[in-house]
């Protein structure tokens, strides 16, 4: 090709010197060169087309490019969406910042509390009528009528206090202080004794910590273990408590840990259905710890707010019962290390001083956090509350003042003392 071009250059510069017919030859040469190029190009192209490896590679590259393009587009799309979301969040945050600048109470307000379905119309004083009218307070009231404060009266007060259900320790403490005040002439009349006893009752109740019973936990279910001897009122109290917690909006799970009596699990099952709680029931005679372990595990996995675990109340001795309950506690802790968050000892108020003895047995070894005192409606021995708190410093969380669903009430110190010391006509 080159010699042809070299020949063309001088001829193109001086065409008059070209030999005759040169133009024709040159034209033919150029055409030949062009055709040569075209043929070579066509052959190369057909080579490429026919090579299957090259074809597959080309296809693979095209495919890859398409995928890459798609990926880039998707990434770009999600980045753009994230950016829009971030901007929106920023706007909302700025708005709420502005709002909380203006009205801080909006930020501190929690979710609305669900209404309690229970009609709490019955005053606690109604459930304490027997204690007030027949118990030691009533006897003191009668004693003081029309009497002067003298040594003889103090002896009579001593007799009433020592035979009351407040326990010997608490009675002697009250009496010692009364005598000391009398000798210092600090008690003007019998009304001063009355006022002193009322103040002292409040002070005794204040000496125990706040029971903080059934406080909600944001981190997970609140697990409550219920203990006490047979017939104290555990299962019925669990039913009543569950109803209260369902009414406040909790998702409630019950654990039927009294597996020694077939009727006990059935009784709890009826309560669960009645109040709208779920229940974990073991087979008759199965290990109570295993049932309550299962209940605690289910509570954790099922997003429950409150778990109430029932337990058996009778073994051959109370010591054996406490041992069994200690095992229950340990096994529950295997499912949830910080559980149980509360251990409530249920005591039968009609037992009087015997209730104090039971509280000692359970309280010492189990780490009871509070006491539910039941059946106060049927007894004059309500003063036992003072003895329990004074001797054991375990707070009272709930009191039972009847058999109706709403008759298990949160214990209010003031309300209790007011109800106890209210005198006829006052
Ligand atoms: N009058 C009255 N009876 C109650 C009260 N609490 C429980 N009871 C009754 O005491 C009995 C024994 O209760 P239960 O829950 O089965 O005791 P548990 O063996 O400790 O589970 C049942 O007949 C209850 O209705 C209460 O506050 N007042
Ligand atoms: Mg029971």
Question: How many Å lie between the centroid of ligand 1 and the Cα of residue 230?
Answer: 10
Q: What is the pTM for the complete model shown? A: 0.73
Handedness of CA 206, 207, 213, 215 (dihedral sign): positive
What pLDDT is recorded for position 14?
62
Select from 287, 364, 300, 372 the least CA-distant residue to 338: 300
pLDDT recorded at residue 104 = 29
Residue with CA nearest ligand 1 atom 7: 233
Tens digit of each residue's pLDDT (9 = 90 or more) over 120-171: 667 888 888 998 889 888 898 898 888 888 889 999 999 999 988 898 999 9
CA atoms within 13 A on the CB side of 176: 6
User: Number of C-alpha atoms within 13 angstroms, CB side, residue 415?
Assistant: 13
- Residue to mutate (ligand 1; options 131, 231, 236; most atoms within 8 A of CB): 236
Report the separation in Å between the CA atom of 288 and the middle of ligand 2, taken as the mean of its atom positions: 13
The span from the CA of 353 to the CA of 168, in Å, is: 9
Q: Whose CA is nearest to atom 8 of ligand 1?
A: 233
Backbone torsion region of residue 367, taken as left when φ is above 0, otherwise alpha when ψ lies between -120 and 50, otherwise beta: left
281 lines ligand 1 (CB under 6 A): no
Pocket test for ligand 1, best of 127, 233, 272 (most atoms within 8 A of CB): 233
Q: What is the pLDDT of residue 103?
A: 30
Q: Say what the pLDDT of residue 33 is.
A: 79
pLDDT of residue 385: 94
The pLDDT assigned to 9 comes to: 53
CB distance 187 to 149 below 8 Å: yes
Query: Does residue 402 line the site of ligand 1, with CB under 6 A?
Result: yes
Maximal CA-CA distance, the chain: 167
Give 10-residue mean pLDDT values along the chain (426 residues).
Answer: 52 62 78 79 58 73 64 53 57 49 32 46 84 89 86 91 90 93 90 91 95 92 96 96 95 94 88 95 86 96 97 83 94 96 96 90 91 94 93 96 91 92 63
Ligand 2 centroid to residue 238 C-alpha, Å: 9
| Ligand 1 center–CA 224 separation, angstroms | 19
């Amino acid at each position: 090709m080159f010699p042809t071009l070299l020949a063309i250059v001088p001829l193109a510069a001086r065409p008059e010197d070209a030999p005759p017919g040169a133009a024709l030859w040159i034209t033919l040469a150029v055409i030949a060169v062009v055709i040569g190029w075209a043929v070579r190009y066509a052959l190369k192209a057909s080579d490429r087309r026919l090579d299957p490896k090259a074809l597959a590679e080309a296809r693979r590259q095209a495919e890859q490019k398409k995928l890459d393009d798609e990926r880039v587009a998707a990434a770009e799309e999600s980045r753009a969406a994230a950016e829009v979301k971030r901007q929106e969040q920023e706007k909302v945050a700025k708005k709420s910042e502005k709002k909380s600048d203006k009205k801080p109470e909006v930020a501190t307000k929690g979710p609305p509390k669900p209404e309690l379905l229970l009609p709490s119309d019955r005053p606690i004083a109604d459930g304490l009528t027997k204690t007030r009218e027949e118990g030691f307070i009533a006897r003191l009231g009668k004693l003081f009528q029309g009497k002067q404060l003298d040594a003889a009266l103090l002896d009579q007060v001593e007799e009433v206090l020592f035979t009351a259900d407040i326990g010997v320790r608490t009675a002697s403490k009250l009496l010692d202080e009364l005598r000391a005040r009398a000798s210092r002439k600090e008690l003007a009349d019998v009304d001063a004794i009355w006022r002193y006893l009322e103040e002292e009752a409040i002070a005794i109740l204040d000496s125990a910590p706040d029971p903080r019973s059934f406080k909600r936990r944001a981190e997970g279910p609140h697990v409550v273990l219920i203990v006490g001897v047979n017939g104290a009122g555990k299962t019925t109290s669990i039913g009543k408590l569950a109803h209260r917690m369902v009414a406040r909006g909790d998702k409630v799970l019950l654990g039927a840990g009294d597996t020694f009596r077939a009727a006990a699990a059935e009784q709890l099952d009826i309560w669960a259905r009645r109040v709208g709680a779920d229940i974990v029931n073991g087979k008759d005679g199965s290990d109570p710890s295993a049932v309550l372990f299962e209940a605690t595990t289910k509570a954790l996995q099922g997003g429950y707010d409150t778990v109430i675990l029932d337990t058996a109340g009778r073994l051959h001795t109370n010591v054996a019962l406490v041992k069994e309950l200690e095992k229950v506690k340990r096994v529950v802790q295997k499912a949830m290390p910080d559980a149980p968050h509360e251990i409530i000892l249920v005591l039968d108020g009609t037992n009087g001083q015997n209730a104090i003895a039971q509280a000692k047995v359970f309280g010492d070894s189990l780490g009871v956090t509070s006491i539910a005192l039941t059946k106060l409606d049927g007894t004059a021995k309500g003063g036992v509350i003072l003895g329990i708190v004074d001797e054991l410093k375990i707070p009272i969380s709930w009191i039972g003042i009847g058999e109706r669903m709403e008759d298990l009430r949160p214990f209010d110190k003031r309300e209790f003392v007011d109800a106890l010391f209210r005198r006829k006509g006052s």
